[in-house]
Amino acid sequence: MADKHQPPKRSLLYNAIIVFLVMMFLNAFIFPLFTRPQVTEVTYDAFLEMLDANQVHEVAMDSAGSTILFTAGEEGAQRIYRTGAWPDDDLTQRLLSHPEVSFETEIIEETSPLVNILLGWVLPYGLIFGAGYLLMRNMQKRLGGENAMNFGKANAKIVGEEKTGVTFNDVAGEDEAKEALTEIVNFLHDPQKYAEIGAKLPKGALLVGPPGTGKTLLAKAVAGEAHVPFFSISGSEFVQMFVGMGAAKVRDLFKQAAEKAPCIVFIDEIDTIGKKRDGGVIGGNDEREQTLNQLLTEMDGFDANKGVVILAATNRPDSLDPALLRPGRFDRRIPVELPDLAGREAILRVHARQVKLERHIDFTAIARATSGASGAELANIINEAALRAVREGRAAVAQSDLEESVETVIAGYQRKNAVLSEHEKRVVSYHEVGHALVAALQSNAAPVTKITIVPRTSGALGYTMQVDQDDKKLLTREELLSKIAVLTGGRAAEEVVFGSVTTGASNDIEQATKLARAMITRYGMSDEFGMVAMETVSNQYLGGDTSLACSPDTATAIDRQVVEVVRAQHDKAVELLKNNMASLNRVAEYLYREETITGEQFMSLLRGLPEPGATSQDAGDPA
């Protein structure tokens, strides 16, 4: 976007130069009139002669005692003289014997005015201005501006794109969001039609949803569909080092948009400026508030029928200032949620268009294995699969590439060269099979689709993948309990088989504790507390942090109950494994050998079907 702004008439540099020139002038021509005249060098001899002739009036010596300055001469025509100090012990006596001589403590001014100016004025000011200039240039560079001293104007990277090249076809799933945005597209096509009827479209729409769900993509698609320019700026770019810059940027943004109307203005991460203003904290973020106020003013100020539509995106809508959500501002809220099974498949297909695929790729299977993944993660899975195909020298992406990259993206990269000792490998095998077996032995746990003991860079030494048949939105108390049992299954297997425990269960323990705690404090699933929320989720889109809201006594009771819940499930897991030792051994030995077991292999092993090479004397039967 070309910058059409004039630099301010009087920049800081301009002013600084004026002040500087005035000082130079004063120093060079005015001040010397008041400074003392030139010093004349004389010999010590001459000094003594003048002293004897009663011509000396004032005498001063420098601190080192090496130079004497004195004034001498007829009244009204005195001059300054300088002489090297002779090692003269009688000097004081001599001077005292001349009552007309006064002792000066101050060294009489002796340097020449030019040196004086250079040292006293030019040098320090030069240094100050030089350093300041460099500092400012540096900052400006980081802010992306090109003109070092342009404070007044917004040099934000306001990205203006004539064509985004993105359409609704590039956004998979998110049908509800697209539908809501279609009206805006129609409006931008023909603002006149709306104006004639007198219909006012909302000035702004807020895209709300977790990171990576395609909010930015949707905003671009709206511009692409409507064939209008797209101005985007990120909220964090508004918050600047200098107070007032953010507000200036907002002004600038809206001015540019008004010139290009109809168009889209997109403010990404609006929560960085749009946070609730906190009442009167001294030294609070003034800059942010100014920026927000300016945004509100601009939004109120412009005429919606001109065809400027403001879109904004955030993943923390609850932290937004209510003023932003008032009618006439971002009063339309468009949820952009994580994709469901069908949505995930569609997103995978959209991104798969860009890579070469083998025939018969089962996207549904991949979509099933990626419950909870965002659009960005799914796009990444496709890319990882393509990278893997290239690495292995194949010309097209195969199903196995996709399967592998699901794990790469979701569970971290495979670490092929990590070395486990034989014993460690056996422990990990039993640990993972413990999880899988406890899952298989409970009717309401999700089926196991894969067990592996190939370490991940995430630190996990093994990994048991369970996949629900469909997206589960509601979990019963029993299902949650069996989830906890499955999580404790790994540790339980270690105990049952080896009689000792390892550090390998830390993540399981953490998850089990979280689940148990949530059951009690959030889902109302404990008998003691019933349906009382002891914890509230403060941000549902960003990790879902919770905060405790109960008395310390209750907190203690909660902790006790959490321990009880987890212990009960752990006991259940131990029990299940003890009753199915044969299956545990068989599957674990097989896993130890093969390192990876698929869901089907797992099931047939459980049923006691002979695997090639598997020792099968028993027919352990799952419940």
Q: Which residues are catalytic?
A: 432
CA angle 96, 97, 98 (to 5 degrees): 90
Based on its alpha-carbon atoms, the radius of gyration of the chain, rounded to whole angstroms, reads 40
Cβ 569 to ligand ADP shortest distance, Å? 37
- 359 Cβ contact partners less than 8 Å away, ≥ 6 residues apart: none
- Tokens representing 613? 């090479």
Distance of CA 618 to the CA centre of its chain: 56
Query: In terms of CB distance, is 173 or 434 closer to ligand ADP?
Result: 173
CB of 309 to ligand ADP, least distance (A): 17
Nearer to Mg ion, 150 or 213 (CB): 213
* Contact between residue 185 and residue 197 where contact means Cβ atoms under 8 Å apart: no
- Round to whole Å and give the CA distance between 267 and 207: 10
Which of 153, 178, 215, 368 forms a contact with ligand ADP (CB under 6 A)? Answer: 215
Binding ligand ADP (rule: CB under 6 A), the pick from 91, 350, 406, 584 is: 350
Please report, as residue ranges, which positions from 280 to 319 form the binding site for ligand ADP (by CB under 6 A).
313
* Interface mask toward ligand ADP for 442-481; x: CB under 6 A: ----------------------------------------
Which of Zn ion, Mg ion, ligand ADP, none binds 379 (CB below 5-8 Å, type-dependent)? ligand ADP
Structure tokens at 279: 């009442």
Q: Does 213 bind ligand ADP (CB under 6 A)?
A: yes
Chosen residue from 214, 434, 462, 620 binding ligand ADP by CB under 6 A: 214
User: Binder to ligand ADP among 39, 50, 342, 376 (CB under 6 A)?
Assistant: 376
Residues at the contact surface with Mg ion, assessed by CB under 5 A: 216
Residues near Zn ion (CB under 5 A) are: 490, 508
Candidates 618, 622, 600; CA nearest to 610 is: 618
Closest approach, Cβ 471 to ligand ADP, in A, equals 16
Binding mask 551-590 for ligand ADP (x = CB under 6 A): ----------------------------------------
Kindly write out the interface string for residues 169-188 of this chain, putting x where it contacts ligand ADP by CB under 6 A and - elsewhere.
--xxxx--------------
Residue closer to ligand ADP, measured from CB, 72 or 397: 397
Per-residue mark of binding to ligand ADP, 328-347 (x: CB under 6 A): -------------------x
Cα four-point dihedral sign 410, 414, 419, 420: positive
Identity of the residue, 348 or 369, whose beta carbon is nearer to ligand ADP in the bound complex: 348
Within 10 Å of residue 23's Cβ, how many Cβ atoms? Answer: 15
3-state DSSP assignment of residue 582:
helix
- Whichever of 216 and 272 has its CB closer to Mg ion, that residue is 216
The candidate with the shortest Cα–Cα distance to 329, out of 413, 245, 205, is 205
Residue 224 binding result from Zn ion, ligand ADP, Mg ion, none, given CB thresholds of 5 to 8 Å by partner type: none
Identify what 256 binds: Mg ion, Zn ion, ligand ADP, none; CB under 5 to 8 Å per kind: none
Give one DSSP letter per residue of 19-87, joined into a string: HHHHHHHIIIIIGGGTS---EEE--HHHHHHHHHTT-EEEEEE-TTSSEEEEEESSTT--EEEEEEPP-
Q: Using the minimum distance from each CB to Zn ion, give the nearer residue, 309 or 438.
A: 438
Least spacing, CB of residue 254 vs Mg ion, in Å: 21
Partner in contact with 452, chosen from Zn ion, ligand ADP, Mg ion, none, beta carbon below 5 to 8 Å by kind: none
Question: Residue 347's binding partner, choosing from Zn ion, ligand ADP, Mg ion, none, with beta-carbon cut-off 5 to 8 A by kind?
Answer: ligand ADP
Shortest distance, CB of residue 268 to ligand ADP, whole angstroms? 7
Q: Measure the CA–CA gap between 564 and 519, rounded to whole angstroms.
A: 12
Pairing of strands 535-537, 56-61: unpaired
For residue 145, the partner it binds in Mg ion, ligand ADP, Zn ion, none, with Cβ less than 5 to 8 A by kind, is: none
Take residue 285 and report the two structure tokens written for it: 């973020």
CB 233 within 8 A of CB 253: yes
- The least distance separating ligand ADP from the CB of residue 247, rounded to whole angstroms, comes to 25
Contact with ligand ADP (CB under 6 A) among 7, 120, 211, 524: 211
Cα–Cα distance for residue pair 292/272, rounded to 1 Å: 10
224 binds ligand ADP (CB under 6 A): no
Angle between helices 506-521 and 552-578 (to 10 degrees): 130
- Answer yes or no: are the C-beta atoms of 569 and 485 closer than 8 Å: yes
Instruction: Produce one character per residue of 147-176: b if its CB has 16 or more CB atoms within 10 Å, e if not.
Output: ebbbbbbbbbebebbeebebebebbbbbee
Binding mask 135-174 for ligand ADP (x = CB under 6 A): ------------------------------------xxxx
Q: Which does 490 bind (CB under 5 to 8 A by kind): Zn ion, Mg ion, ligand ADP, none?
A: Zn ion
Question: Which DSSP letter does residue 612 get?
Answer: T
CB of 213 to Mg ion, least distance (A): 9
Query: Under a CB-based contact definition with an 8 Å cutoff, are residues 230 and 160 in contact?
Result: yes
Structure tokens given for 223: 């511009």
Phi-psi bin for 612: left (phi > 0), alpha (psi -120 to 50), beta? beta
Rounded CA separation 87/44 (Å): 10
Toward ligand ADP, which CB reaches closer, 172 or 605?
172
Q: Is 379 in the site for ligand ADP (CB under 6 A)?
A: yes
Q: How far is the CB of 266 from ligand ADP (least distance, A)?
A: 10
**Which member of 375, 489, 490, 608 binds ligand ADP (CB under 6 A)?**
375
Going across the sheet that includes 67-72, the strands are: 39-41, 79-84, 67-72, 56-61, 102-103
Q: How far is the CB of 26 from ligand ADP (least distance, A)?
A: 59
To Mg ion, the closest distance from the beta carbon of 164 in angstroms equals 14
Give the one entry of Zn ion, Mg ion, ligand ADP, none that residue 508 binds, where binding means its C-beta sits below a cut-off of 5 to 8 angstroms depending on kind.
Zn ion
Per CB under 6 A, residues contacting ligand ADP are 171-174, 211-217, 313, 347, 350, 375-376, 379
